[in-house]
Chain A
Amino acid sequence: MRYSGLRVIKEALTGHKGWKPAWRDVEPKSAYDIVIIGGGGHGLATAYYLAKIYGQKRIAVLEKGWIGGGNVGRNTTIIRSNYLLDGNEPFYEFSLKLWEGLEQDLNYNAMVSQRGILNLIHTDAQRDAFIRRGNAMMLNGADADLLTTAQIKERYPFLNTENPRFPIKGGLAQHRGGTVRHDAVAWGYARGADRLGVDIIQNCEVTGFLIENGTCTGVETSRGTIKAGKVASCVAGSSSRVMAKAGMRLPIESHVLQAFVSEGLKPVLPGVITFGAGHFYCSQSDKGGLVFGGDLDGYNSYAQRGNLPVVEDVCEGGMAIFPMLGRARLLRMWGGIMDMSMDGSPIIDKTHIDGLYFNGGWCYGGFKATPASGYVYAHLLARDEPHPTATAYRFDRFNRGLMIDEKGMGNQPNLH
């Protein structure tokens, strides 16, 4: 069924009786060509592109709970490609381009909204670093714009540019950045994949891998054994837990990242603002809620909830630049589990076990990567070689000393 304005009108006039399930609920088959573990944004996107671009058939996505229930459903919805390093920038720019055509491709309105993202600058050293980054973006074909304080003030008149501790001295903007309705991304890919014949199987937890002579031949699940030509793990947040079942230790720690939304407010923030010096970033959703976040809690956790000190720290950052936020109320806070990798960049690679593939380590940058992650993972699965934009995301980069460390924090995951 194709979605369109006309269809919405027609259904409305006939009591909405014709709407079909967005995806089918199916029983798992005994074998597939490719089994994707994880029905999050990345897993569903992988399935979609495998079927759509790479012509693969007999694909299943296995989801422990309900699709889109992980980080694709719990993030701050930001998309951008403002990366510094050559290992990252082409990939994220590819992702941004996919976002730009996503809705027409999927026939699903995920509300991709390129309202711009702005990184605030407070010191000369920060300006130097942002100029280097902006140049790297432009040399990679992305857009970047250095704004003056006056330009920022014009766009955000209520910003406290003269905070006595961190006065705003400019900003690096990416106008093509923005936000997306996060849940809709999972649903749109699920619907798209389903229409191409992918089996999406919810409430199906992978409990083990079938590994024979160094080759992975399928998975054990809570709903029985499923054989597979290729098995693709795509469970960021739970990567270590799942891959441990294949005997692997990963260059990843799991950390909790909290995020927050305010009560619905009449629009005040046109785009995304990040205040790095104060660990605060914020945008406003189409429903009116201010969506904001900051730092990790900082300790390993699978508990999907955080503690007060970080909540306070983030709100302090908010009040520092938006002193008008004082009387806005925080409605809801939540915690997601991040695959924090050892250099802050993801891994999309084959494992040392034939037939077993890995996609994870997204830190807290996974949402914006969703389309490209799916696309390049599909490429790797179909062709057994990395997509040109993702050649650096290999396991062995740590062995070889080829880390992709945007922040220069080294092998300490909670600092990325």
Chain B
Amino acid sequence: MSQTNRLNGGLINRDRPMSFKFDGKSFQGYEGDTLASALLANNVRLMGRSFKYHRPRGPLTAGSEEPNAIVELRSGARKEPNTRATTAELFDGLTATSQNRWPSLAFDAMAVNDRLSTFFAAGFYYKTFMWPAAFWEKVYEPIIRKAAGLGSLSLEPDPDSYDKGFLHCDLLVIGAGPTGLMAALTAARSGAEVILADEDFALGGRLNAETFSVGDQSASGWAASLVGELSAMPNVRVMPRTTVIGAFDHGIYGAVERVSDHLPVPADGKPRQILWRIYSKQAILAAGATERPIAFEQNDRPGIMLASALRSYVNRWAATPAKRVAVFTNNDDGHRTAADLHAQGVKIAAVIDTRADGPVSRDYEVLQGAQVSDTMGRLGLTFVKVQLADGSERTLECGALGVSGGWNPNVHLASHQRGRPTWQDDIAAFVPGDALPVGMSAAGAALGHFSTHGALQSGVDVATKALDVLGITSNRPTLPEAEDAPINVTPFWHVDGAKRAWLDQQNDVTAKDVKLAHQENFTSVEHLKRYTTLGMATDQGKTSNMGGLAIMAELAGKSIPQVGTTIFRPPYTPTAIGTLAGRSRDEDFRPVRKTPSHTWAEEQGAVFVEVGMWLRAQWFPKDGETHWRQSVDREVSQTRKSVGICDVTTLGKIDVQGADAATFLNKIYCNPFAKVPVGKVRYGLMLREDGIAMDDGTAARLAEDHFVVTTTTANAVGVYRHMEFVRQCLFPDLDVQLISTTEAWAQYSVAGPNARDLLQKVVDPEHDISNEAFPYMACGEISIGGVRGRLFRISFSGELAYEIAVPTRYGDALIRKLVAAGEEFDAVVYGTEALGVMRIEKGHAAGNELNGTTTALNLGMGRMVNKKKDSIGSTLSEREGLNTEDALKLVGFKPVDPSKSVPAGAHLMTKGDKVDAAHDQGYITSACYSPNLGHHIGIGFLKSGDTRLGEIVRLVSPLTEVDHDVEVVSAHFIDPEGDRLRV
């Protein structure tokens, strides 16, 4: 039997039937259904289980505030846990599975927790499971964790893609109910740029769920025609299926558009969802209101739902949870539900009104001054017990009960910047307070104007005020006729004496738990939340918090506003992590920077390594080489023997120009720069202002007023920022300009005894690069095949070496030219590993040594800090703690047993000392196998290291189980006098 509970009418498309499966069983619904409405139409009320007691549950609501009807939607890698059946749009072929139950939804073994619920009162776990101590991790916690959580992840990579986008507008209207539609229309007709966003797929808000008319149209018809008008306007962007999730600083809103969630799979090339960052000048919160339940005994059975949800299911989706229903209300709105259902042919068992003076009906019984005292039905409501005004009891047979305890304005976004809402007595609810996010105003039901007329009017009024702020004259539309009934609520939060009366249905927090929290002094609203978990479920307490506050207020003898609310935090509804990440995943997680020789290196089969964002060739394996060390050793040996070429483009390059360029560099570097001659390069050490080494590199003086500064790859960005700070903030009148040219120049190192011979073949013949004309540390502009370039005679490897630079677009051509020219010398191209080996052999500090805690003194460059001038970091480098007698010094280490290694990260101990932190003497920073020396070497920091050359110290690495002796040696393993540099 299909869709036994389907009624006539509704906004569903009966021409488009759709099949779907829930827990393996097939059903039929229609386009326009949600999963929940389609299940109800098929007489399925049981859709989930609660978190703690595994109570059987059906939908409480018809919207995103749903705590109960949450399912695993779809299957395989697209499985989506904790999805609200009440907002999941039906599509043909949809599959959903119930969650947090075993073995089945109807029979859940864990429901035994419900029987034991008296033992599981609020906070019980803080009071037990402490003995014996070891049992928490081994016994108790595993059991608790096994029961944890609701839905499960697929554990497979999400196959869908997500996008991000940026939108700008004069006015953002959040919510497209009567208020939002009218506000958007007002602003749009006045010429403002408007964005209208609503979480629903059908715009209109409650208008789609009501039977009254607006103007001369049905409410939903009026909404549709307005949406039509707005969609056609060029200055309006209408965004259905778009939830505004958060109000951030300066009028920026986050919004999630569900582009493809209503489809079996996203269309080709389309994302699943889009995260929009909306930059608004003004915003109107027209998010409406949420009905709130009343707490009574056993108020959580499938079939018990909010009265407005019941009305929505019947009016919008033509689906009723049961053929016979009752309504429990403390206000007039509840009666509207009964009247609408009656009109649709649903039998009304009775309306139970807590008030003695509520409306009466000719069509069905109204029990005035009555309360629901209990309910029955294990997997779905069968009976409700009612206590009548005279104290007698009556039992009503019904399969559904609509409950209305009044309405709460949806103030969330208004409080995202921690502004507190204020209490409004006549509606017994919180409304947005004074401290709204800048540019935001609330309107309509979100502001407490609950009638349709009131909402329409408020939309126009608030939009007009926002337009005023924008300096736009409001073109106020005429208001259509609409109902203007007062809601007449008399606060009624819970039925007295009810114990198992649920407040937070998902987390199973009952009135009893609030009482216990109060008894134990967890009376602050935040303590209440944290102790009982009230409001911490996936619905974020949208239907539960007020009930808890009311009971706490009663117990504490305070008013509800005195008790206050917890803090409202983004997102408004839970948001997929994939959406927030967008396209930044897998290889696109971070940008890739490629060096000018990348294509060539790829052709050679280079192995690449990530350095910052750069991909650099790590080594170039040759045929027959099976281990990386073979390649690296060959690259090192051949470079030292003949010549090697290496792409060093990634080093930062900063162009420094101006009459005060030298003065400026004299401030930046701790060593002197004022007198560097034109055509010369000088090594420079930069300190941070706190006296710690920041970076090192070279500065080449190309002209009186022109230097080129190099930085390490890792620090290129930071050094540039620092130099601009010094220039703009500290010495604003220096005549100097900076620009980063890292990407503008392709730069190659050519190193080795044959470096000059190779280069001679490459640079244009008019350039004399002989040792006499172009000595060590010379620099100058040259040309290569007519292309302008730069040549620096600097060396990181310790060999005769040059760095040659050309504009980046010639970088590929240059590497090919260098390699071709090198053929006669058996030149190698080497990668970062060989580069590292050679610099360790030479004892040059790099990133591992410049680790942000080391000083010039530690690096063996203490004397470089020139005290006759002011430079950044010079003063603070003088502090005693940075100049102790036993300061760490950079030295070299070689293993006493040549077969042993010198692993980086190992610590150093004096021979004979106890091996512990108190006796720690230092650590190895960089290490490698030296093919030139034939054994492992390392450099590192050792207390008073410079005075301990020749000492045997103990190298320990308990983490990697290494413990042997090494000898302290000079860090300059190769050519300590630097003769090779100058040949």
Residues of A within 8 A of B (CB): 3-5, 7-9, 11-13, 16, 19-25, 65-66, 68-69, 73, 86, 89-90, 101, 103-104, 107-115, 122-123, 125, 127-136, 138-141, 144-146, 157-158, 160, 163-166, 181, 183-184, 187-188, 202, 262-268, 278, 284-288, 303-305, 307-308, 311-312, 315-316, 318-320, 323-334, 397, 399-403, 405, 407-411
Contact = CB atoms under 8 A, between A and B. Distances in A.
Given A165-B610, A183-B530, A326-B158, A410 B581 contact: no
A303 to B, nearest CB: 7
A287 B149 contact: yes
B688 interface: yes
B920 A139 contact: yes
Contact of A397 (B145, B538, B881, B926): B881
Given A131-B959, A138-B959, A410-B690, A324 B585 contact: no
Interface stretch (B203-211, B474-482, B516-524, B761-769): B516-524
B484 interface: no
Given A264-B150, A323-B585, 6 more contacts: A108-B126, A132-B907, A327-B79, A330-B574, A400-B881, A410-B689
Contacts of B852: 405, 407-410
B876 interface: yes
Contact of B125 (A7, A73, A109): A109
B540 A331 contact: yes
A323 B148 contact: no
B953 to A, nearest CB: 15
Nearest to B522: A22
Contacts of B79: 327
Nearest to A165: B589
A7 B589 contact: no
Contacts of A325: 153, 158, 577-578
Contacts of A407: 852
Interface string B4-18: 000000000000000
B145 A16 contact: no
Contacts of B920: 86, 136, 139
B501 to A, nearest CB: 16
Question: Which 7 pairs of residues, A with B, have the shortest CB-CB distance?
Answer: A408-B852, A326-B158, A288-B149, A131-B905, A401-B879, A326-B578, A401-B881
Nearest to A110: B126
B586 A329 contact: no
Interface stretch (B90-98, B248-256, B440-448): B248-256
Contacts of B582: 312, 316
B853 interface: yes
B787 interface: no
A9 B119 contact: yes
- From A127, A131, A160, residue with most partner B Cβ within 10 Å: A131
23 contacts: A4-B130, A19-B519, A21-B519, A22-B522, A107-B130, A123-B610, A134-B959, A140-B916, A262-B577, A263-B82, A264-B82, A286-B141, A307-B248, A312-B581, A312-B582, A316-B589, A320-B584, A320-B589, A323-B585, A326-B157, A327-B154, A329-B82, A329-B577
A248 to B, nearest CB: 21
A136 B917 contact: yes
Contacts of A316: 580-582, 584-585, 589
A183 B524 CA distance: 13
Contact of B959 (A23, A104, A135, A327): A135
Interface in B48-89: 51, 78-82
Contacts of B133: 101, 103-104
Contact of B589 (A166, A303, A305, A405): A166
B589 to A, nearest CB: 4
A284 B149 CA distance: 10
A69 B125 CA distance: 21
Contacts of B851: 129, 408
Contacts of A319: 158, 577-578, 581, 584-585, 589
A123 B833 CA distance: 12
Contacts of B876: 401
A331 B540 CA distance: 8
B131 A400 contact: no
B246 to A, nearest CB: 7
Contacts of A140: 916-917
B578 A327 contact: yes
Given A5-B129, A12-B121, A139-B917, A327 B581 contact: no
B575 interface: yes
Given A12-B119, A263-B574, A401-B691, A113 B275 contact: no
B454 to A, nearest CB: 32
Contact of A22 (B81, B520, B538, B847): B520
B910 to A, nearest CB: 14
Nearest to B876: A401
Contacts of A107: 130
Contact of A90 (B537, B883, B917): B917
Interface string B484-525: 000000000000000000000000000010001001111010
Interface of B: 51, 78-82, 118-119, 121, 124-131, 133, 136-137, 141, 144-146, 148-158, 160, 162, 164, 246, 248-249, 252, 254, 275, 277, 416-418, 512, 516, 519-522, 524, 526-527, 530-531, 533, 537-538, 540, 567, 569-571, 574-578, 580-582, 584-587, 589-590, 592, 609-610, 688-692, 847-848, 851-853, 876, 879-883, 903-907, 915-917, 920, 923-926, 956-960
B81 A265 contact: yes
A102 to B, nearest CB: 10
Nearest to B915: A139
Contacts of A327: 78-81, 153-154, 158, 576-578
Given A308-B248, A328-B577, A400-B879, A131 B136 contact: no
Nearest to A146: B959
Nearest to B52: A287
B158 A16 contact: no
A46 to B, nearest CB: 21
Nearest to B417: A305
A334 B569 contact: yes
Contacts of B575: 329-330
A144 B958 CA distance: 9
A278 to B, nearest CB: 7
A286 B148 contact: yes
A284 to B, nearest CB: 8
A312 B879 contact: no
A195 to B, nearest CB: 13
Contact of B526 (A12, A73, A89, A315): A73
Nearest to A25: B521
B916 A315 contact: no
A131 B906 contact: yes
Nearest to A265: B149
B569 A164 contact: no
Contacts of A130: 905
A397 B128 CA distance: 44
A188 B275 CA distance: 41
A104 B130 CA distance: 7
Contacts of B526: 66, 69, 73
Contacts of B150: 263-266, 288
A403 B855 CA distance: 12
Contacts of B915: 139
Contacts of A112: 136
B848 A128 contact: yes
A92 B50 CA distance: 40
Contacts of A333: 246, 569-571
A324 B155 contact: yes
Nearest to A172: B959
Contacts of A73: 526, 530
A266 B907 contact: no
Given A305-B418, A316-B582, A402 B881 contact: yes
B31 to A, nearest CB: 24
Contacts of A158: 155-156
Nearest to B961: A146
